[in-house]
């Protein structure tokens, strides 16, 4: 390794030799860097999981535009209702080929084992299959049977195995909101951070479950556009059809991005995760700084000697950066491994969509290098204490 | 080119600021001939180490003049002093070897200060010098596994390996036995004769005084005796 690094650096790898001279201290330093990596990965993983769980319901939809209420909240599940009349008004636009309302409501499902789960219900018209994901087309049609539901196999706190065989011909009964429903199929959506599961029902079944809700006030409206129509332009033109500030109209993908942004930057959970990432970075910098500054302090006489010999500042920067990069590059891998184990454990225990992505791993790796380099630059200040004249 | 490797004129030096300011050197004048071996002597606090560090570009010159290898150090830039130090060799009483580097690697650092080189040539030069100093069997030893005398010889090798114009040494023989000490100083003398390497050393070792070309004694920041030997 020394020979390889000598060739690479064009000088003896002083930083590497200093670090490996004290294996115990090096291991402690690597553990510190790995710990900081785990902190950052955990927070990024949770934040990514929240973004993913926000996006999943949007992926059920296959229309071009989404009409939302003008309420301030950007969350799909939080949105207030809007008049169904907005749908009919939209149909006058030449690019709009169709539309359907969707109704959303939340209920607590107490299963037979005293476990309770918060369920997000989507009430949709069974014949509006064109507005939903292709895989849902056939099961959605079956929802025309009253008091039937497609249940979420990823629902938390409930053993959903008994629903695996649910068919329209052989519904699996369950009770919710004091009403007997029959599961006629399953979907795999997952509750994410806002709930424990998602159930799809017909609009009529929805009104049975939520009698206070009216078909005249859906939660959102989905619009389909003619092939080749510009969704952004159509959305802008549609807004002009309504009285000011009565609707928000967005392409579905844009609405999804908007909600992800909203959840990450304006909701407490997102801010907590962002704060957690910042804490992880600060902890990483502090750990790396402690290691590097202690190393500089330990070698202050050697550095003073090098100064006396005529080595320039760039040489010392090189040594400290070399140490920083070694710590970052080696400490990253155990951090990645532990984080992967954490993700898998959390996904298994909670059913939230948490997983490692290449982009995240690369970003954290680069961030670790930068954080360690910043720590190294801070530790450089201690070099001023290396006064060669004091060696005599 | 003048015959003086070092030419000190009217040198004053101070430590501290304001009322705590204390003068360490007073109007010191000294010209050191190229290739000579000069010993600085004097009691503790006499200013000999301060003079050595000033001539070695390790401190800023406050007053007077030092011409080192025909470059004026008074009011010189830090970068100039760093460049000048590359032409010098330093031997410290406390060795100051890098604990993480082997004997060979410590010596190689004396070459790498001049930039990238051919690693094999660097290693060969270090090995040759360490072998000359009786450490051919200790090339891969870390300083922690060397005796005080062996460390001092590694420090000497590190100072000499780049063929410096001037060697500044602080008690270089303190950790060496009589034979090794004499051999080391004899080596400095030989380098002076063959390569014109100038040596200025601070020492209290009476065993080596006979090898000096010149013995300069300082007291209270002034040169009080200057014996030039023929």
Helix or strand run (H / E) with residue B90: strand B88-91
Question: Is B42 at the interface with chain A, CB within 8 A?
Answer: no
Residue B51: partners with Cβ closer than 8 Å, 6 or more residues away: B8, B11, B13, B25, B28, B30, B40, B218
| Interface contact A308-B119, CB threshold 8 A | no
In the block, which residue shows the tokens 């410590």?
A: B106
What's the ipTM? 0.90
Please, are residues B37 and B47 in contact by the beta-carbon 8 Å criterion?
no
pLDDT at A124: 92
Question: Is B85 at the interface with chain A, CB within 8 A?
Answer: yes
Asked if pLDDT for residue B1 goes beyond 60, the answer is no
pLDDT at A256: 87
| Interface contact B109-A10, CB threshold 8 A | no
Q: Compare A268 and B7 and report the one with higher pLDDT.
A: B7
pLDDT at B53: 92
Asked if pLDDT for residue A28 goes beyond 70, the answer is yes
pLDDT at B78: 87
pLDDT at A72: 62
Question: Is B116 at the interface with chain A, CB within 8 A?
Answer: yes
| Interface contact B100-A392, CB threshold 8 A | no
Asked whether residue A136 falls in the same domain as residue A91, the answer is yes
Express each pLDDT in A330-355 by its tens digit: 999 999 999 999 999 998 888 888 89
| Interface contact B82-A14, CB threshold 8 A | no
Asked whether residue A49 falls in the same domain as residue A104, the answer is no
Asked whether residue A222 falls in the same domain as residue A277, the answer is no
Express each pLDDT in A370-384 by its tens digit: 988 888 888 888 887
Instruction: Report the gap between the CA of B46 and the closest CA in chain A (Å).
Output: 14
pLDDT over 90 percentage in chain B = 65
Asked if pLDDT for residue B230 goes beyond 70, the answer is no
Interface with chain B: mutation pick from A308, A319, A383, highest number of B CBs within 10 Å? A308
Longest Cα–Cα distance in chain A: 95
pLDDT band at A73 (very low <50, low <70, confident <90, very high): low
Question: Is B83 at the interface with chain A, CB within 8 A?
Answer: yes
From residue A173, how far is each of A138, A141, A161, B4 by CA, in Å? 20, 19, 13, 106
Interface with chain A: mutation pick from B15, B53, B58, B61, highest number of A CBs within 10 Å? B58
What angle separates helix B148-160 from helix B178-195, to the nearest 10 degrees? 0
Instruction: Report the gap between the CA of B151 and the closest CA in chain A (Å).
Output: 14
Asked whether residue A327 falls in the same domain as residue A379, the answer is yes
pLDDT band at B143 (very low <50, low <70, confident <90, very high): very high
Q: So where are chain B's domains?
A: 35-60+84-228
d(CA B153, CA A348): 64
Sheet order of strands, A220-225 included: A172-176, A179-187, A148-152, A197-202, A116-124, A96-110, A220-225, A65-68, A248-251
From residue A182, how far is each of A170, A325, B139 by CA, in Å? 9, 59, 83
Query: Is A194 strand, coil or helix?
Result: coil
What number of residues does chain A have? Answer: 392
pLDDT band at A79 (very low <50, low <70, confident <90, very high): low
Question: Is A299 at the interface with chain B, CB within 8 A?
Answer: yes
Q: Residue A65 domain-assigned? A: no
Please give the tally of structural domains in chain A.
Answer: 2
What number of residues does chain B have? Answer: 230
From residue B228, how far is each of A23, A71, B51, B213, B225 by CA, in Å? 53, 98, 18, 6, 10
Asked whether residue A101 falls in the same domain as residue A242, the answer is yes
Residue A341: partners with Cβ closer than 8 Å, 6 or more residues away: none
Q: Which residues span the domain enclosing A331?
A: 2-54+268-391
Asked whether residue A175 falls in the same domain as residue A228, the answer is yes
Express each pLDDT in A296-324 by its tens digit: 888 888 899 999 999 988 899 999 899 99
Q: Residue A61 domain-assigned? A: no
pLDDT band at A264 (very low <50, low <70, confident <90, very high): confident
| Interface contact B86-A18, CB threshold 8 A | no
pLDDT at B66: 95
pLDDT at B160: 93
Which of A136-145, A186-195, A229-238, B110-119 holds the top average pLDDT?
A229-238
Write the residue in A7, A12, A21 that is nearest to B112 by C-beta: A12
pLDDT band at A188 (very low <50, low <70, confident <90, very high): confident
Instruction: Report the gap between the CA of A7 and the closest CA in chain B (Å).
Output: 8
Instruction: Report the gap between the CA of A391 and the closest CA in chain B (Å).
Output: 7
Instruction: Report the gap between the CA of A390 and the closest CA in chain B (Å).
Output: 9
Residue A296: partners with Cβ closer than 8 Å, 6 or more residues away: A303, A320, A379, A380, A382, A383
Token pair in block for residue A237: 């033109």
Asked if pLDDT for residue B193 goes beyond 70, the answer is yes
Average pLDDT, chain A: 87
Which among B141, B99, B140, B104 is positioned nearest to B119, based on CA atoms?
B104
Please, are residues A106 and A120 in contact by the beta-carbon 8 Å criterion?
yes
Buried b (16+ CB within 10 A) or exposed e, A322-347: bbbbbbbeebbebbbebbeebbeebb
Asked whether residue A197 falls in the same domain as residue A148, the answer is yes
Write out chain A residues lying below 8 Å of B93, CB-based. Answer: 392
Searching chain B, which residue's CA lies closest to the CA of residue A303? B98
pLDDT at B95: 83
Asked if pLDDT for residue A272 goes beyond 90, the answer is no
| Interface contact B59-A389, CB threshold 8 A | yes
pLDDT over 90 percentage in chain A = 35
C-alpha torsion angle, residues B182, B185, B187, B188 (rounded to 10): -170
Which of A300-304, A371-375, B142-146, B178-182 holds the top average pLDDT?
B142-146
pLDDT at B169: 92
Express each pLDDT in A97-141 by its tens digit: 999 999 999 998 887 667 788 899 999 998 888 888 887 877 888
Asked whether residue A218 falls in the same domain as residue A356, the answer is no
Asked if pLDDT for residue B153 goes beyond 70, the answer is yes
| Interface contact A305-B92, CB threshold 8 A | yes
Express each pLDDT in B70-115 by its tens digit: 899 998 988 899 999 999 999 988 888 999 999 999 999 999 988 8
pLDDT at A391: 73
| Interface contact A392-B99, CB threshold 8 A | no
The alpha helices in chain A, defined as continuous H runs, are 2-9, 14-21, 23-58, 85-90, 137-142, 203-209, 231-239, 252-265, 268-298, 300-309, 313-350, 358-379
Angle at A344 between CA A340 and CA A348, to 5 degrees: 170
Asked whether residue A95 falls in the same domain as residue A235, the answer is yes
Write out chain A residues lying below 8 Å of B79, CB-based. Answer: 312
Instruction: Report the gap between the CA of A392 and the closest CA in chain B (Å).
Output: 6
d(CA A159, CA A165): 13
| A and B: number of Cβ contacts within 8 A | 75
| Interface contact A308-B90, CB threshold 8 A | yes
Asked whether residue A95 falls in the same domain as residue A48, the answer is no
Report CA A107 to chain centroid distance, whole Å: 24
pLDDT at B145: 94
Write out chain A residues lying below 8 Å of B116, CB-based. Answer: 10-11
Please, are residues B53 and B121 in contact by the beta-carbon 8 Å criterion?
no
CATH class as words, domain B35-60+84-228:
alpha beta
Q: Compare A134 and A225 and report the one with higher pLDDT.
A: A225
Asked whether residue A89 falls in the same domain as residue A219, the answer is yes
pLDDT at B146: 93
Please, are residues A220 and A102 in contact by the beta-carbon 8 Å criterion?
yes
Asked whether residue A165 falls in the same domain as residue A307, the answer is no
Q: Residue A256 domain-assigned? A: no
Q: Residue A9 domain-assigned? A: yes
Please, are residues A131 and A66 in contact by the beta-carbon 8 Å criterion?
no
Question: Is A9 at the interface with chain B, CB within 8 A?
Answer: no
């Amino acid at each position: 390794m020394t020979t390889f690094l000598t060739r690479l650096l064009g000088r003896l790898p002083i930083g590497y030799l200093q670090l490996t001279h004290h294996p115990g201290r090096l291991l402690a330093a690597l553990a510190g860097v790995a710990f900081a990596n785990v902190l950052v990965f955990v927070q990024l993983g949770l934040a990514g999981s929240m973004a993913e769980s926000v996006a999943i319901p949007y992926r059920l939809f296959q229309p071009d535009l989404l009409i939302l209420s003008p309420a301030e909240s950007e969350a799909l599940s939080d949105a207030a209702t809007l008049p169904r009349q907005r749908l009919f008004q939209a149909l006058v636009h030449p690019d709009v080929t169709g539309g359907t309302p969707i109704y959303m409501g939340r209920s607590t499902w107490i299963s037979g084992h005293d476990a309770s789960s918060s369920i997000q219900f989507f009430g949709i018209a069974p014949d509006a299959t064109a507005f939903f994901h292709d895989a849902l087309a056939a099961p959605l049609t079956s929802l025309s049977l009253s008091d039937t539901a497609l249940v979420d196999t990823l629902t938390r706190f409930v053993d959903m195995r008994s629903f695996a065989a649910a068919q329209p011909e052989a519904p699996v009964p369950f009770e919710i909101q004091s009403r007997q429903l029959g599961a006629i199929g399953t979907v795999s959506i997952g509750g994410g951070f806002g709930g424990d599961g998602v159930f799809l029902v017909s609009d009529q079944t929805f009104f049975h479950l939520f009698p206070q809700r009216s078909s005249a006030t859906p939660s959102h409206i989905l619009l389909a556009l003619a092939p080749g129509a510009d969704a952004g332009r159509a959305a802008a033109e549609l807004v002009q059809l309504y009285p000011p500030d009565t609707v928000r109209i967005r392409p579905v993908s844009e609405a999804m991005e908007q909600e992800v942004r909203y959840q990450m930057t304006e909701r407490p959970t997102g801010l907590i995760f962002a704060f957690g990432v910042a804490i992880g970075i600060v902890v990483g910098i502090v750990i790396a700084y402690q290691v590097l500054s202690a190393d500089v302090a330990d070698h202050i006489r050697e550095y003073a000697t090098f100064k006396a010999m005529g080595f320039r500042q760039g040489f010392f920067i090189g040594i400290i950066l070399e140490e920083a990069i070694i710590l970052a590059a080696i400490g990253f891998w155990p951090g990645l491994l532990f984080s992967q184990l954490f993700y898998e454990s959390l996904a298994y225990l909670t059913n939230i969509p948490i997983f490692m992505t290449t982009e995240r791993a690369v970003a954290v790796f680069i961030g670790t290098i930068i954080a360690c380099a910043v720590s190294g630059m801070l530790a450089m200040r201690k070099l001023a204490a290396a006064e060669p004249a004091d060696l005599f | 080119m003048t015959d003086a490797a070092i030419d000190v004129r009217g040198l004053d030096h101070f430590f501290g600021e304001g009322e705590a300011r204390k003068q360490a050197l007073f109007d010191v004048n000294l010209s050191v001939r190229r290739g000579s071996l000069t010993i600085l002597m004097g009691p503790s606090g006499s200013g000999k180490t301060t003079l050595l560090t000033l001539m070695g570009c390790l401190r800023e010159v406050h007053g007077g003049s030092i011409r080192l290898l025909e470059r004026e150090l008074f009011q010189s830039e830090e970068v100039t002093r760093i460049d000048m130090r590359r032409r010098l060799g330093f031997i410290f009483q406390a060795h100051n070897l890098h604990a993480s580097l082997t004997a060979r690697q410590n010596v190689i650092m004396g070459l790498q200060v001049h930039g990238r080189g051919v690693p094999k040539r660097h290693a060969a030069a270090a090995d040759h010098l360490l072998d000359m100093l009786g450490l051919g069997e200790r090339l891969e030893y870390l300083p922690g596994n060397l005796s005080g005398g062996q460390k001092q010889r590694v420090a000497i090798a590190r100072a000499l390996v780049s063929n410096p114009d001037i060697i500044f040494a602080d008690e270089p023989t303190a950790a060496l036995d009589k034979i090794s000490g004499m051999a080391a100083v004899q080596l400095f003398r030989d380098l002076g004769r063959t390569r014109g390497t100038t040596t200025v050393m601070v020492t209290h070792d009476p065993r080596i005084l006979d090898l000096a070309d010149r013995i300069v004694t300082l007291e209270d920041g002034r040169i009080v005796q200057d014996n030039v030997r023929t």
